[in-house]
């Protein structure tokens, strides 16, 4: 693990005290994930030796790391990394998608396609089913008046919701169908939020130029048995949406 320190030297001519220079090197390495949670930092004698500084200096650096909530000193073990985020880091208190523009037009969803497809390798893996299983694919564009806002693509295993192809999701909420009609219970989801550029096809649906930026959310939702039940892709026009995150101490 000394590898990560290799090449870094302390600067005796700096206005910065040596303990603070060492602290900074270790801090950077922890925050950058070179040292991971649970890793041991190099021992005091190793650091004394490597940098040619006093034991007291090394201790002072370690104390500052402890104060910042990054390191814990364990008797007989050494200095263990307990967090990669300084305790002064702010905690998320709220996050939500925000429109950059007011959406004055009448909101509605237009169904682009609603039919069965055979799961390819990627979809099969995400939904934990065999390849070629029948999936119901629903694509809708959310409009405000004549302007499109986002494209939504949903995949569910058809046999899980055998009548789903009979519904009209230009009128009905998918969520209401799942929960009110089918009495499904989903408890957990994982979302990946990515910056992408629109393909020709997506651009057409979203009334933008191909290559325009889109904010894409990939979401897998799991039921109470931890079985993935829905895979949803929402492609938002980046000129109309951004994600807001508020953080607090």
Site residues, its own copies (CB under 8 A): 4, 15-16, 20-21, 23-25, 27-28, 31-34, 64, 68, 86, 88, 90, 92, 95, 98, 103, 106-107, 166, 171-173, 175-176, 179-181, 186-197, 211-216, 221, 236, 238, 242-249
Cβ-based nearer residue to its own copies, 82 or 133: 82
160-165-167-169 Cα dihedral, nearest 10 degrees: 100
**Angle, helix 18-31 to helix 44-51, in steps of 10 degrees:** 120
Cβ-based nearer residue to its own copies, 1 or 189: 189
What is the Cα–Cα distance from 188 to 169, expressed in whole angstroms?
23
Strands 107-118 and 134-144: antiparallel
Cβ-based nearer residue to its own copies, 87 or 159: 87
Minimum distance of its own copies from residue 12's CB (angstroms)? 14
All residues at 6 or more sequence positions from 232 whose CB lies less than 8 Å from its CB, including other chains: 152, 153, 154, 155, 217, 218, 219, 220, 221
Cβ-based nearer residue to its own copies, 32 or 132: 32
Where helices occur in 68-145 by DSSP H, the ranges are 121-126
Minimum distance of its own copies from residue 177's CB (angstroms)? 9
Minimum distance of its own copies from residue 212's CB (angstroms)? 8
Cβ-based nearer residue to its own copies, 36 or 75: 36
What is the Cα–Cα distance from 87 to 73, expressed in whole angstroms?
16
Minimum distance of its own copies from residue 217's CB (angstroms)? 8
Minimum distance of its own copies from residue 44's CB (angstroms)? 21
Confirm if 159 and 130 have CB atoms less than 8 A apart.
Answer: no
Confirm if 143 and 108 have CB atoms less than 8 A apart.
Answer: yes
Minimum distance of its own copies from residue 228's CB (angstroms)? 14
Cβ-based nearer residue to its own copies, 10 or 129: 10
Confirm if 30 and 81 have CB atoms less than 8 A apart.
Answer: yes
φ, ψ of residue 79 to 5 degrees: the values are: -95, 115
Q: What are 204's two structure tokens?
A: 């057409």
Cβ-based nearer residue to its own copies, 119 or 206: 206
Q: Among candidates 125, 141, 145, which has minimal Cα distance to 133? A: 125
Minimum distance of its own copies from residue 247's CB (angstroms)? 4
């Amino acid at each position: 693990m000394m590898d990560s320190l290799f090449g870094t030297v302390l600067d005796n001519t700096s206005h910065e005290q040596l303990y603070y220079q060492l602290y900074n090197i270790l801090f950077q390495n922890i925050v950058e994930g070179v040292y991971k949670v649970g890793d041991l930092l190099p021992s005091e004698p190793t650091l004394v030796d490597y940098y040619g500084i006093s034991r007291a200096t090394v201790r002072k650096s370690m104390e500052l790391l402890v104060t910042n909530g990054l390191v814990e000193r364990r008797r007989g073990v050494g200095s263990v990394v307990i967090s990669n985020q300084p305790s002064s880091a702010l905690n998320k208190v709220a996050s939500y998608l925000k429109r950059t523009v007011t959406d004055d037009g009448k909101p509605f969803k237009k169904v682009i396609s609603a039919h069965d497809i055979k799961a390819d390798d990627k979809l099969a893996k995400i939904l934990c089913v065999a390849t070629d299983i029948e999936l119901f694919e629903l694509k809708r564009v959310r409009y405000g008046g004549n302007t499109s806002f986002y494209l939504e693509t949903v995949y569910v295993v058809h046999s899980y919701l055998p009548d789903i192809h009979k519904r009209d999701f230009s009128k009905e909420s998918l969520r209401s169908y799942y929960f009110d009609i089918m009495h499904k219970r989903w408890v957990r989801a994982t979302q990946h939020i990515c910056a992408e550029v629109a393909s020709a096809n997506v651009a057409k649906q979203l009334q933008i130029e191909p290559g325009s930026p889109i904010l894409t959310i990939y979401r897998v939702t799991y039921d109470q048995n931890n079985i993935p039940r829905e895979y949803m892709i929402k492609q938002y026009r980046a000129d109309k949406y951004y994600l807001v995150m508020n953080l607090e101490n």
